[in-house]
Structure 1
Amino acid sequence: MNYVPSKHWWYSWQEWDATSILEDLRAIAGLGMDHIRVHLLWPVFQPDPSVVSAVSLDRLRELLDLADHPDVSLDVSVSVLDGWLSGFTFLPAWMSGRNMITDSGAICAELLLLDTLAAHIGDHRRFLGFDLGNELSVPNGGVPTERGEQWASLLLDHCASVAPGRFHVNGVDHLPWFEARTFSPAACATHGSASVLHTYPYWTGAIRRYGPDGTGVLHLGEYMAELAEAFSPVRGRPKWLQEFGASPVERPAESIPQWAASFVRNTLSSGGFWGCTWWGSHDIDRRFTGFIEYEYDLGLLTVDNEIKPIGARLRQLIGELRDTPVRPAARSVALVLPDSRELGLHVADRFFALVDDGLRPALVTSERADDPAHLSARGITELVHF
Structure 2
Amino acid sequence: MSSPASPAPPAPRFGVNYTPRTGWFHSWLDLDEDAVGEDLQAIASLGADHVRIFPLWPLLQPNRTLIRPRGLADVRAVVDAAASVGLDVVVDAIQGHLSSFDFIPSWLATWHRRNMFTDPEVVAATAELVRSLAACVADAPNLLGLTLGNEVNQFSASNHPDPDVTSVAEAEAWTRTLLEAARAGAPAGMHTVANYDAAWFMDDHAFTPDQSARLGDATVIHSWIFDGTGQRYGARSYEVAHRAEYYLELARAFSPAPQRPLWLQEVGAPRSLLTEDEVPWFVASTIENSLSCPELWGVTWWCSHDVSRSLADFPPLEHTLGLFDEHGRIKNAGEAFRDAVAAARETAPPASRGRAIEFPVGADALLGRSAAAPGGSVFEAWMDASRAGERPTVRVVREQAEIVAGDTRTGGAAATRVGS
d(CA) in 2 for partners of 1:231, 1:372: 9
Structure 1 residue 358: deviation in Å? 2.1
Aligned to 1:85: 98
Residue aligned with 1:192, SS: coil
Q: How many residues align?
A: 382
Aligned to 1:115: 131
Identity %: 35
d(CA) in 2 for partners of 1:279, 1:213: 19
Aligned to 1:381: 413
What per-residue deviation string (whole Å, max 9, x for no partner) do you get for residues 22-80 of structure 1? 100010001111000001111111001111112211111111121121xx111111111
Cα distance change of structure 1 residues 356 and 377 upon mapping to structure 2, 3 Å threshold? closer
Residue aligned with 1:365, SS: strand
Structure 1 residue 377: deviation in Å? 4.2
1:128-167 equivalences in 2 (<5 Å) = 128-141=144-157, 142-167=165-190
Contact 2:352 2:407 in 1 (8 A): no
- Residue number among 370, 380, 386 corresponding to 1:355 in the alignment: 386
1:158-237 equivalences in 2 (<5 Å) = 158-179=181-202, 181-202=205-226, 204-237=227-260
Structure 1 residue 317: deviation in Å? 1.2
d(CA) in 2 for partners of 1:88, 1:319: 34
Cα distance change of structure 1 residues 135 and 370 upon mapping to structure 2, 3 Å threshold? closer
d(CA) in 2 for partners of 1:118, 1:358: 44
Contact 2:306 2:322 in 1 (8 A): yes
Structure 1 residue 315: deviation in Å? 0.7
Residue aligned with 2:345, SS: helix
Aligned to 2:119: 103
Aligned to 1:334: 356
Cα distance change of structure 1 residues 122 and 24 upon mapping to structure 2, 3 Å threshold? same
Residue aligned with 2:148, SS: strand
Does 2:268 correspond to 1:251?
A: no
Cα distance change of structure 1 residues 376 and 172 upon mapping to structure 2, 3 Å threshold? closer
Which AA in structure 2 matches 1:234? A
Which AA in structure 1 matches 2:397? S
**TM-score normalised by the chain length of structure 2:** 0.87
Contact 1:331 1:379 in 2 (8 A): no
Structure 1 residue 373: deviation in Å? 10
d(CA) in 2 for partners of 1:373, 1:3: 33
d(CA) in 2 for partners of 1:212, 1:362: 24
Structure 1 residue 348: deviation in Å? 0.6
Residue aligned with 1:189, SS: helix
d(CA) in 1 for partners of 2:79, 2:407: 44
Contact 2:64 2:122 in 1 (8 A): yes
d(CA) in 1 for partners of 2:246, 2:320: 26
Aligned to 1:76: 89
1:282-293 equivalences in 2 (<5 Å) = 282-293=305-316
Structure 1 residue 375: deviation in Å? 7.1
d(CA) in 2 for partners of 1:356, 1:365: 21
Which AA in structure 2 matches 1:332? G
Structure 1 residue 222: deviation in Å? 1.3
CA RMSD of aligned residues (A): 1.8
d(CA) in 2 for partners of 1:46, 1:375: 43
Does 2:283 correspond to 1:276?
A: no
- Residue number among 36, 39, 50 corresponding to 1:24 in the alignment: 39
d(CA) in 2 for partners of 1:175, 1:311: 29
- Residue number among 40, 56, 63 corresponding to 2:78 in the alignment: 63
Any stretches of 5+ residues in structure 2 without a counterpart? 1-15, 158-164, 362-367
1:291-302 equivalences in 2 (<5 Å) = 291-302=314-325
Structure 1 residue 374: deviation in Å? 8.7
Contact 2:395 2:406 in 1 (8 A): no
Which AA in structure 1 matches 2:97? W
What per-residue deviation string (whole Å, max 9, x for no partner) do you get for residues 284-308 of structure 1? 1111012110111100011222111
d(CA) in 2 for partners of 1:178, 1:251: 23
Any stretches of 5+ residues in structure 1 without a counterpart? none
Does 2:68 correspond to 1:53?
A: yes
Does 2:397 correspond to 1:366?
A: yes
Contact 1:334 1:380 in 2 (8 A): no
